[in-house]
């Protein structure tokens, strides 16, 4: 078993079209993948805003595949594949650790677009086993932070924990007056919310972060429903309270769909320092 420790991650996956028009976020995902592949995780535990259930549920199939959980996009999207190994062994470990009363497993497979559109840039060879874990969007940030804490030992055992969502996610804003340009200027509400998340993270102000819906500026506007931000708290819980969350990347699409990524825990700062070096090597 690998002894590498991986910082739990939160990534904003954006529109499904990111798979064809990756932009700044896609370039970052490639660089992030290059950093992670230097030690290569033994498996990926993926918790996405698009794979939800009433209680924690593991999709423990032997093989995974891309799920096209969207409609009305470029037909080319439906030809893209991401056929990765599943991780039934990791599922068995989690069942043993957490108990059947807290998590269930099904011999099913499927990677929603919040998972495969990111992984196809991070791990294009699709050789790292992936275990999707569904979670309840009715859970509070504090409850999901605790779920992350329960998963934390995996990060020290070679498992990469990825929460996939969106740092800002109000699709009514995106489509309010027709689809805006992908490079539209950022609206004030999005900028202020993202800045608040960054500042409270740097201050390790967990009380404010866990109460973001009441304390963050424009929280309900940027997250009319909060399932796209909740994976942030799962990854944060897996990293723990001692280390400040590190923002690894910030960019924007359509004026209000933030593409920020964060790393958590004691390995986060080193990863943040490594990424500019990889970016420079990539440009050479």
DSSP states along 205-221: -HHHHHTHHHHSTTHHH
Q: At what angle do helices 230-239 and 141-155 cross, to 10 degrees?
A: 40
Output DSSP code: residue 75. G
- The answer to whether the CB of 117 falls within 8 A of the CB of 124 is no
Full domain range(s) for residue 139: 9-283
Asked, for residue 154, whether it belongs to a domain, the answer is yes
Asked, for residue 138, whether it belongs to a domain, the answer is yes
In tens, the pLDDT along 60-115 reads 999 999 999 999 899 999 999 999 999 999 999 999 999 877 899 999 999 999 99
Asked, for residue 67, whether it belongs to a domain, the answer is yes
In tens, the pLDDT along 113-145 reads 999 999 999 999 999 999 999 999 999 999 999
Tally the domains of the chain.
1
User: Which pTM was predicted?
Assistant: 0.96
* CATH number, residue 71: 3.40.830.10
Non-local CB neighbours of 131 within 8 Å, separated by 6+ positions: 43, 44, 45, 46, 58, 59, 60, 86, 87, 90, 91
What value does the mean pLDDT take over residues 158-179? Answer: 89
Asked, for residue 4, whether it belongs to a domain, the answer is no
Go through 197-234 and write b for each residue having 16 or more CB atoms within 10 A of its CB, e for each that does not.
Answer: bbebbeeeebebbbebeeebebbebbbeebbbbbbbbb
Q: Are strands 261-263 and 246-249 parallel, antiparallel or unpaired?
A: antiparallel
What value does the mean pLDDT take over residues 40-62? Answer: 97
Asked, for residue 86, whether it belongs to a domain, the answer is yes
Q: Which residue carries 């804490």 as its tokens?
A: 149
Asked, for residue 244, whether it belongs to a domain, the answer is yes
Non-local CB neighbours of 29 within 8 Å, separated by 6+ positions: 11, 22, 118, 121, 122
In tens, the pLDDT along 177-226 reads 677 888 999 999 999 999 999 999 999 999 999 999 999 999 999 999 99
Write down the H helix ranges in the chain.
23-36, 88-98, 113-122, 141-155, 171-175, 188-202, 206-210, 212-215, 219-222, 230-239, 268-283
For residue 259, the Cα-to-chain-centroid distance in whole angstroms is: 10
Asked, for residue 1, whether it belongs to a domain, the answer is no
Asked, for residue 103, whether it belongs to a domain, the answer is yes
């Amino acid at each position: 078993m690998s002894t590498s420790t991986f910082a739990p991650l939160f990534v904003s996956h954006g529109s499904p079209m990111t798979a064809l028009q990756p932009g700044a976020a896609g370039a970052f995902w490639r660089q992030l993948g290059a950093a992670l592949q230097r030690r290569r995780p033994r498996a990926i535990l993926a918790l996405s805003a698009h794979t939800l259930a009433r209680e924690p549920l593991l999709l423990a199939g032997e093989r995974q595949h891309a799920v096209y959980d969207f409609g009305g996009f470029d037909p080319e999207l439906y030809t893209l594949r991401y056929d990765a190994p599943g991780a039934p062994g990791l599922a068995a470990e989690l069942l043993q650790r957490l108990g059947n009363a807290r998590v269930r497993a099904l011999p099913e497979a499927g990677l929603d677009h919040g998972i495969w559109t990111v992984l196809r840039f991070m791990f294009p060879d699709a050789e790292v086993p992936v275990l999707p874990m569904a979670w309840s969007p009715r859970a509070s940030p504090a409850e999901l932070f605790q779920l992350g804490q329960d998963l934390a030992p995996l990060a020290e055992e070679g498992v990469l924990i990825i929460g996939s969502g969106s740092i800002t996610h109000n699709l009514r804003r995106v489509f309010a007056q027709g689809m805006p340009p992908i490079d539209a200027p950022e609206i004030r509400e999005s900028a202020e919310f993202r800045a608040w998340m960054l500042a409270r993270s740097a201050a390790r102000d967990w009380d404010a972060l866990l109460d973001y819906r009441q304390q963050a500026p424009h929280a309900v506007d940027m997250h009319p429903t909060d399932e796209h931000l909740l994976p942030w708290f799962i990854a944060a819980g897996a990293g723990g309270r001692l280390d400040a969350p590190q923002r690894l990347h910030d960019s924007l699409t359509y004026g209000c769909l933030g593409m920020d990524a964060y790393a958590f825990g004691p390995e986060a700062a080193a990863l943040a320092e490594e990424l500019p070096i990889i970016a420079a090597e990539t440009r050479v």
